[in-house]
């Protein structure tokens, strides 16, 4: 095998803690050309709530195990 395909298969610790896409989901600009409807806004709102609840749960479990 070549080295490039081996590098892509390996995940580093930095890859696991890359939260750029998560923060981009919360803090992106609205697209003026995109039409939104009520259902789409509610879907994104529920997704944001679920991401926040998941991250709070992970923090709680980590703190519970440490303390």
* Per-residue confidence (pLDDT) for residue 11, from 0 to 100: 73
* Per-residue confidence (pLDDT) for residue 5, from 0 to 100: 52
Work out the pLDDT band at 44, boundaries 50, 70, 90. Answer: confident
**Rounded Cα distance, 52 and 46, in Å:** 10
Of 11, 21, 16, 12, nearest to 51 (Cα)?
21
For the whole model, what pTM was predicted? 0.56
pLDDT tens digit sequence for 48-64: 899 899 989 999 999 99
Q: How far is CA 54 from CA 28, 50, 58, 63, in A?
A: 20, 6, 6, 14
**Rounded Cα distance, 26 and 67, in Å:** 30
pLDDT tens digit sequence for 2-39: 555 555 567 777 776 777 777 777 777 777 787 778 88
The helix (H) or strand (E) run that includes residue 12 is none
């Amino acid at each position: 095998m070549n080295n490039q395909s081996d590098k892509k298969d390996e995940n580093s610790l930095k890859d696991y803690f890359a939260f750029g896409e998560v923060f981009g989901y919360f803090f992106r600009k609205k697209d003026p050309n995109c039409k939104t409807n009520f259902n789409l806004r509610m879907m994104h709102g529920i997704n944001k709530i679920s991401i926040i609840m998941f991250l709070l749960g992970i923090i709680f479990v980590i703190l519970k195990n440490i303390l």
